[in-house]
Amino acid sequence: FKGGAAIEALASVRTVAFDKTGTLTEGHPAVVEIVSFSDLTEDAILARAAAVEARSSHPLAQGIVEAAAARGLAVAKATDERNLSGRGLRALVDGVVVLVGSRRFFPDRLAPVDAALERFERAGHTIVLVGSPDGVDGAIALTDPIRHASESAVRALGGLGLRTVMLTGDNRATAERIGRAAGVTDVRAELLPEEKVAAVRALQAAMPTAMIGDGVNDAPALAAASVGIAMGAGTDAAIEAADVVLARDDLAQVPVAVRLARRTMVTIRTNIGTALFVKAAFLVLTLFGFTNLWLAVLADTGMALLVTANSLRLLHGAPPIPAPHLHDHASQPALAGAD
Ligand code: ADP
Ligand code: MG
């Protein structure tokens, strides 16, 4: 928690918004199929995409680069790359302009492309299109399995009375599938980064909202939420923008953090309430002449001890912190390990 304000804000949150890739899913997409709509071979499509994606830190980019390496393809060096955040990127490969990204990148498509995309979407795959300014040359289907902890974390948040929403830039069919598997109440798909921010603002207008993300295309949404929660393995931008960082990169810690924040606020209110009550009672006793030194000590130091002991109860019920993380306090490599 980056300070007391983050604890107070998390305690009053009523809606939790999740990013999909790298948050509800593992964030290591694997290439499952490649199709070509041009005279390029499937390997040539993959090699072109990998040349461009070598310039990107997006999880999809890493999956594509790894697939090209696994097939032993010769990958050219791309230059002049331009990142179109939330859509994909363009770069110069062997003297040709190559575009890699979502369908928003390619407004004009042909029937065979649509048929292939529909098939991929029905299978719940994430799709990356590869082409040029003239049109689509091929498509790469990737699959990114849901995290083991997602479903139980979402269920635990529901049990705490919170509404859960998934915000993603991915296609609707794939988003719905992951959203259903995770058990979130609401799914918003095909959002650009600025649309994620708008969605967070809209949720926030109704109820205080927390946003959880890994920072790839969602750091602005983390900053816009009343509480931004970053995955520990997320980008530096996410860890910077967030109010709470899950140092263990474990979604199961989200309900734990909410419960801890709520208990902390209850403890603070109880402590202030009892301390004020005891001092007021002592004041009244003094006015009626029932004062002695020991009562004064009890009302002051005794109350300080009581309040401290009550606060220490927060340590119980919190899960143990695993040993490795205790050692890297000074340099914080657990967080910096993201890059
Ligand atoms: P999410 O919201 O699921 O984390 P993003 O907002 O990061 O997803 O990306 C949304 C979509 O934009 C992806 O599904 C993909 O189609 C496209 N995209 C974004 N960045 C890239 C990239 N570097 N390479 C290929 N496609 C990309
Ligand atoms: Mg993401």
Measure the CA–CA gap between 213 and 234, rounded to whole angstroms.
Answer: 8
Minimum CA distance residue for ligand 1 atom 25: 101
What tens digit of pLDDT does each residue of 235-265 get?
888 899 999 999 888 999 999 999 999 999 9
What tens digit of pLDDT does each residue of 172-221 get?
999 999 999 999 999 999 999 999 999 999 999 999 999 999 888 888 99
Handedness of CA 264, 148, 193, 238 (dihedral sign): positive
In ligand 1, the atom with minimum distance to the C-alpha of 167 is: 2
Q: Which ligand is nearest to the CA of 191?
A: 1
Measure the CA–CA gap between 120 and 112, rounded to whole angstroms.
Answer: 13
Q: What is the mean pLDDT of the chain?
A: 89
Measure the CA–CA gap between 27 and 29, rounded to whole angstroms.
Answer: 6
* Phi (first) and psi of residue 164, to 5 degrees: -115, 135
Pocket residues: Cβ below 6 A from ligand 1:
19-21, 53, 56, 58, 60-61, 86-89, 100-102, 126, 128, 168-170, 216-217
What tens digit of pLDDT does each residue of 145-173 get?
999 999 999 999 999 999 999 999 999 99
Q: Which tokens belong to 8?
A: 């107070």
Minimum CA distance residue for ligand 1 atom 21: 88
Most ligand 1 atoms within 8 A of CB, residue of 100, 140, 217 to mutate: 217
State how beta strands 227-231 and 244-246 pair. Answer: parallel
Minimum CA distance residue for ligand 1 atom 13: 170
- Look up residue 102 and give its DSSP letter: -
208 neighbors 9 (Cβ within 8 angstroms): yes
- Look up residue 134 and give its DSSP letter: T
pTM for the whole structure: 0.85
Most ligand 1 atoms within 8 A of CB, residue of 106, 128, 172 to mutate: 128
3-state secondary structure of 132: strand
3-state secondary structure of 32: strand
Choose among 269, 192, 212: nearest CA to 22: 212
- Look up residue 245 and give its DSSP letter: E
Check residue 249 and give its pLDDT: 86
- Look up residue 25 and give its DSSP letter: B
Measure the CA–CA gap between 225 and 255, rounded to whole angstroms.
Answer: 17
Handedness of CA 316, 318, 319, 321 (dihedral sign): negative
